[in-house]
Amino acid sequence: MVVDHLGKPPVGGGPGDRARWRRLIAAAARHPRVHAKLSGLYAASGPLGSWTTEEVRPFVEDALELFGPGRLMYGGDWPVSLLAGGYARCWEACLELLSPLSPGDRAAVLGAAAAGFYRIDPALLAAAHDAAA
């Protein structure tokens, strides 16, 4: 199972909101076959584009701690991301949030975890990447 949008954490909410979300997502993470997707991490209230990287950071850090890079996968959330400041803004924030990770862990979140979960042959991914380059 994949928990989409990290279960919609309360970005921009109060500390009690985060604690409640963390308890719930931690319960899901205790099951080794449950994965989560880094996507849709926009403001919980107000305009979708009002989020900041710093508001999203604690939720991403929690997700990395609870799921690890091997069960956490990036999701582009297009076309909704267009309403949240644009795909480029979301992608750049994701790269910044993942920058403390090792190259291998970052690669896991940005593709390998999803490829494993969806059972996508790595050779097919490599061929598609080479064709696009």
Query: Mean pLDDT for each consecutive 10-residue tract of the chain (133 residues)?
Result: 94 86 97 95 80 93 97 92 89 95 95 93 80 78
Place of tokens 């059972």: 119
| Token pair in block for residue 133 | 């380059």
pLDDT of residue 126: 78
pLDDT of residue 72: 98
pTM higher than the cut 0.75: yes
- Rounded Cα gap, residues 123 and 82, in angstroms: 31
E-assigned strand segments in 61-108: 72-74
List, in sequence order, the alpha helices (H) in the chain: 15-29, 53-67, 80-83, 87-98, 103-107, 113-117, 122-132
CB atoms within 10 A of CB 124: 10
- Rounded Cα gap, residues 133 and 121, in angstroms: 19
- Rounded Cα gap, residues 12 and 6, in angstroms: 15
